[in-house]
Amino acid sequence: TQLLEQSPQFLSIQEGENLTVYCNSSSVFSSLQWYRQEPGEGPVLLVTVVTGGEVKKLKRLTFQFGDARKDSSLHITAAQPGDTGLYLCAGALRNDYKLSFGAGTTVTVRA
Amino acid sequence: EAGVTQSPTHLIKTRGQQATLRCSPISGHTSVYWYQQALGLGLQFLLWYDEGEERNRGNFPPRFSGRQFPNYSSELNVNALELEDSALYLCASSLGTGRASQFFGPGTRLTVL
Protein backbone atom coordinates (compact mmCIF):
# COMPACT_ATOMS: atom_id res chain seq x y z
CA THR A 1 0.00 0.00 0.00
CA GLN A 2 1.20 3.51 -0.83
CA LEU A 3 1.73 6.02 1.91
CA LEU A 4 0.37 8.78 -0.32
CA GLU A 5 -2.74 8.32 -2.41
CA GLN A 6 -3.02 10.58 -5.43
CA SER A 7 -6.21 11.24 -7.32
CA PRO A 8 -7.25 11.21 -10.02
CA GLN A 9 -4.82 8.89 -11.79
CA PHE A 10 -5.54 10.48 -15.18
CA LEU A 11 -6.95 13.87 -16.09
CA SER A 12 -7.66 15.14 -19.60
CA ILE A 13 -9.00 18.65 -20.01
CA GLN A 14 -9.37 21.37 -22.61
CA GLU A 15 -7.04 24.37 -22.68
CA GLY A 16 -8.38 27.13 -20.45
CA GLU A 17 -10.11 24.82 -17.95
CA ASN A 18 -9.11 24.46 -14.31
CA LEU A 19 -7.95 21.27 -12.62
CA THR A 20 -7.17 20.00 -9.14
CA VAL A 21 -4.98 17.07 -8.11
CA TYR A 22 -5.24 15.61 -4.62
CA CYS A 23 -2.70 13.90 -2.42
CA ASN A 24 -3.96 12.17 0.75
CA SER A 25 -2.50 10.13 3.57
CA SER A 26 -3.24 8.96 7.09
CA SER A 27 0.33 9.89 8.06
CA VAL A 28 1.67 13.26 9.17
CA PHE A 29 4.46 14.71 7.06
CA SER A 30 7.15 17.18 8.06
CA SER A 31 7.24 18.42 4.46
CA LEU A 32 5.50 17.70 1.20
CA GLN A 33 6.81 18.36 -2.27
CA TRP A 34 5.17 18.51 -5.70
CA TYR A 35 7.05 17.57 -8.84
CA ARG A 36 6.30 17.48 -12.56
CA GLN A 37 7.95 14.82 -14.70
CA GLU A 38 8.23 14.52 -18.46
CA PRO A 39 8.67 11.04 -20.04
CA GLY A 40 12.23 9.74 -19.64
CA GLU A 41 13.35 12.69 -17.55
CA GLY A 42 13.85 13.38 -13.87
CA PRO A 43 11.12 15.03 -11.77
CA VAL A 44 11.31 18.82 -11.56
CA LEU A 45 10.53 20.35 -8.19
CA LEU A 46 7.57 22.73 -8.26
CA VAL A 47 7.13 23.54 -4.58
CA THR A 48 7.88 22.43 -1.02
CA VAL A 49 5.33 23.05 1.74
CA VAL A 50 6.19 22.59 5.39
CA THR A 51 3.56 24.38 7.50
CA GLY A 52 0.04 23.06 8.10
CA GLY A 53 -2.51 25.23 6.27
CA GLU A 54 0.18 26.75 4.07
CA VAL A 55 -0.84 28.01 0.62
CA LYS A 56 1.77 28.73 -2.03
CA LYS A 57 1.17 30.21 -5.47
CA LEU A 58 3.41 29.78 -8.50
CA LYS A 59 1.88 31.74 -11.40
CA ARG A 60 -1.23 29.70 -12.33
CA LEU A 61 -0.45 26.91 -9.85
CA THR A 62 -1.75 26.97 -6.28
CA PHE A 63 -0.52 24.46 -3.70
CA GLN A 64 -2.17 23.85 -0.35
CA PHE A 65 -0.94 21.81 2.61
CA GLY A 66 -3.66 20.51 4.93
CA ASP A 67 -3.93 21.85 8.47
CA ALA A 68 -2.99 18.45 9.91
CA ARG A 69 -0.12 18.02 7.38
CA LYS A 70 -1.70 14.79 6.06
CA ASP A 71 -2.92 15.99 2.68
CA SER A 72 -2.22 18.45 -0.09
CA SER A 73 -3.70 19.72 -3.31
CA LEU A 74 -2.45 21.26 -6.53
CA HIS A 75 -4.79 23.53 -8.46
CA ILE A 76 -4.02 24.80 -11.95
CA THR A 77 -6.01 27.74 -13.28
CA ALA A 78 -6.57 28.19 -17.02
CA ALA A 79 -4.49 25.15 -17.97
CA GLN A 80 -2.27 25.32 -21.03
CA PRO A 81 -0.85 22.51 -23.21
CA GLY A 82 2.54 23.18 -21.60
CA ASP A 83 1.08 21.99 -18.28
CA THR A 84 0.83 18.47 -19.68
CA GLY A 85 2.88 15.98 -17.69
CA LEU A 86 3.02 13.59 -14.75
CA TYR A 87 2.44 15.36 -11.44
CA LEU A 88 3.88 13.67 -8.36
CA CYS A 89 3.43 14.45 -4.71
CA ALA A 90 6.07 13.26 -2.26
CA GLY A 91 6.24 13.51 1.50
CA ALA A 92 8.91 13.19 4.16
CA LEU A 93 7.85 11.78 7.50
CA ARG A 94 9.23 13.32 10.69
CA ASN A 95 12.80 12.12 11.32
CA ASP A 96 12.75 10.13 8.05
CA TYR A 97 14.31 12.13 5.28
CA LYS A 98 13.58 9.89 2.32
CA LEU A 99 10.62 10.83 0.16
CA SER A 100 7.58 8.60 -0.21
CA PHE A 101 5.93 9.24 -3.56
CA GLY A 102 2.36 9.04 -4.70
CA ALA A 103 1.63 7.05 -7.85
CA GLY A 104 1.23 10.27 -9.85
CA THR A 105 -1.45 12.00 -11.88
CA THR A 106 -1.05 12.13 -15.65
CA VAL A 107 -2.43 15.46 -16.86
CA THR A 108 -3.18 16.07 -20.52
CA VAL A 109 -4.23 19.53 -21.65
CA ARG A 110 -5.70 19.56 -25.15
CA ALA A 111 -5.27 22.63 -27.35
CA GLU B 1 24.30 26.94 -11.14
CA ALA B 2 24.56 23.37 -12.43
CA GLY B 3 21.90 20.93 -11.38
CA VAL B 4 22.27 17.30 -10.40
CA THR B 5 24.09 15.35 -13.08
CA GLN B 6 24.01 11.62 -13.71
CA SER B 7 25.98 9.29 -15.93
CA PRO B 8 25.61 7.37 -18.08
CA THR B 9 22.31 8.40 -19.65
CA HIS B 10 21.62 4.87 -20.81
CA LEU B 11 23.12 1.56 -19.77
CA ILE B 12 22.45 -1.83 -21.30
CA LYS B 13 23.56 -4.95 -19.44
CA THR B 14 22.81 -8.63 -19.49
CA ARG B 15 21.43 -10.66 -16.63
CA GLY B 16 24.07 -11.48 -14.02
CA GLN B 17 26.34 -8.55 -14.84
CA GLN B 18 27.09 -5.58 -12.62
CA ALA B 19 26.08 -1.97 -13.24
CA THR B 20 27.63 1.22 -11.85
CA LEU B 21 25.71 4.49 -11.95
CA ARG B 22 27.14 7.86 -10.99
CA CYS B 23 25.70 11.07 -9.59
CA SER B 24 27.08 14.53 -8.91
CA PRO B 25 24.95 16.66 -6.56
CA ILE B 26 24.31 20.37 -6.77
CA SER B 27 27.31 22.26 -5.46
CA GLY B 28 27.04 22.67 -1.69
CA HIS B 29 24.56 19.82 -1.24
CA THR B 30 25.77 17.12 1.13
CA SER B 31 22.89 14.63 0.95
CA VAL B 32 22.38 12.30 -1.99
CA TYR B 33 19.37 10.04 -2.48
CA TRP B 34 18.84 7.23 -4.98
CA TYR B 35 15.40 6.20 -6.26
CA GLN B 36 14.23 3.54 -8.68
CA GLN B 37 11.36 4.23 -11.07
CA ALA B 38 10.26 1.00 -12.66
CA LEU B 39 7.37 0.83 -15.10
CA GLY B 40 4.11 0.65 -13.23
CA LEU B 41 5.71 0.83 -9.78
CA GLY B 42 6.34 4.54 -9.26
CA LEU B 43 9.36 6.01 -7.51
CA GLN B 44 10.80 3.81 -4.79
CA PHE B 45 13.46 4.96 -2.34
CA LEU B 46 16.73 3.03 -2.58
CA LEU B 47 19.51 4.68 -0.57
CA TRP B 48 20.39 7.89 1.25
CA TYR B 49 23.94 9.16 1.82
CA ASP B 50 24.94 12.12 3.89
CA GLU B 51 28.47 13.29 4.71
CA GLY B 52 29.92 10.10 3.26
CA GLU B 53 27.79 7.74 5.35
CA GLU B 54 24.85 5.55 4.38
CA ARG B 55 21.97 6.86 6.51
CA ASN B 56 19.04 4.79 5.32
CA ARG B 57 18.10 2.22 2.72
CA GLY B 58 14.81 1.11 1.23
CA ASN B 59 13.39 -2.38 0.82
CA PHE B 60 15.89 -3.57 -1.75
CA PRO B 61 18.22 -6.58 -1.60
CA PRO B 62 21.89 -6.16 -0.58
CA ARG B 63 23.03 -6.43 -4.20
CA PHE B 64 21.99 -2.78 -4.43
CA SER B 65 24.77 -0.81 -2.78
CA GLY B 66 26.63 2.42 -3.14
CA ARG B 67 28.88 4.98 -1.63
CA GLN B 68 29.44 8.70 -1.32
CA PHE B 69 32.82 10.22 -2.01
CA PRO B 70 34.54 13.10 -0.13
CA ASN B 71 33.36 15.54 -2.85
CA TYR B 72 29.75 14.35 -2.12
CA SER B 73 29.33 12.66 -5.48
CA SER B 74 27.85 9.19 -5.28
CA GLU B 75 27.89 5.84 -6.99
CA LEU B 76 25.16 3.19 -7.11
CA ASN B 77 26.21 -0.39 -7.78
CA VAL B 78 23.83 -3.15 -8.73
CA ASN B 79 25.30 -6.65 -8.68
CA ALA B 80 23.95 -9.85 -10.22
CA LEU B 81 21.52 -7.93 -12.42
CA GLU B 82 18.03 -9.33 -12.89
CA LEU B 83 15.53 -8.51 -15.62
CA GLU B 84 13.29 -6.68 -13.14
CA ASP B 85 16.13 -4.26 -12.35
CA SER B 86 15.35 -2.53 -15.65
CA ALA B 87 14.21 0.95 -14.64
CA LEU B 88 15.02 4.64 -14.57
CA TYR B 89 17.41 5.28 -11.67
CA LEU B 90 17.13 8.77 -10.28
CA CYS B 91 19.54 10.61 -8.04
CA ALA B 92 18.49 13.60 -5.94
CA SER B 93 20.43 15.95 -3.71
CA SER B 94 19.50 18.27 -0.88
CA LEU B 95 21.12 20.89 1.25
CA GLY B 96 21.28 18.99 4.52
CA THR B 97 18.34 16.91 5.68
CA GLY B 98 15.02 17.35 7.38
CA ARG B 99 12.72 19.65 5.46
CA ALA B 100 15.25 20.38 2.73
CA SER B 101 13.90 20.15 -0.81
CA GLN B 102 15.25 17.35 -2.99
CA PHE B 103 16.36 18.17 -6.53
CA PHE B 104 16.53 15.39 -9.08
CA GLY B 105 18.91 14.62 -11.91
CA PRO B 106 17.83 13.43 -15.37
CA GLY B 107 18.24 9.76 -14.46
CA THR B 108 20.04 6.73 -15.88
CA ARG B 109 17.95 4.33 -17.92
CA LEU B 110 19.17 0.80 -17.10
CA THR B 111 18.05 -1.99 -19.38
CA VAL B 112 18.81 -5.59 -18.42
CA LEU B 113 18.54 -8.12 -21.23
CA distance B29 to chain A (A): 14
pLDDT tens figures, A74-100: 999 999 999 999 999 999 988 777 899
Higher pLDDT, B70 or B2: B70
CB of A2 within 8 Å of a chain B CB? The answer is yes
H-run or E-run covering A18 = none
pLDDT tens figures, A16-57: 999 999 999 999 999 999 999 998 899 999 999 999 999 999
Its sign, for the CA torsion A48, A53, A56, A61, is: positive
Q: Which among A88, A99, A102 has CB closest to B45?
A: A99
Report whether pLDDT(B99) > 90: no
Q: Which among B6, B42, B106 has CB closest to A103?
A: B42
The three-state secondary structure class of A24 is strand
Q: Name chain B contacts of A56, Cβ cutoff 8 Å.
A: none
Whole-angstrom Cα distance, residue A50 to residue A71?
12
Q: Name chain A contacts of B99, Cβ cutoff 8 Å.
A: 30-31, 48, 50, 92
* Buried/exposed A65-100: b ≥16 CB within 10 Å, e otherwise: bbeebbbbbbbbeebeeebbbbbbbbbbbeeebbbb
Whether the upstream peptide bond of residue B8 has omega within 30° of 0, thus cis, is: yes
Q: How confident is the model at residue B97 (pLDDT cuts 50, 70, 90)?
A: low
Report whether pLDDT(B70) > 90: yes
The reply to whether residue A100 touches residue B45, judged by beta carbons under 8 angstroms, is: yes
Beta carbons of B46 and B22 less than 8 angstroms apart: no
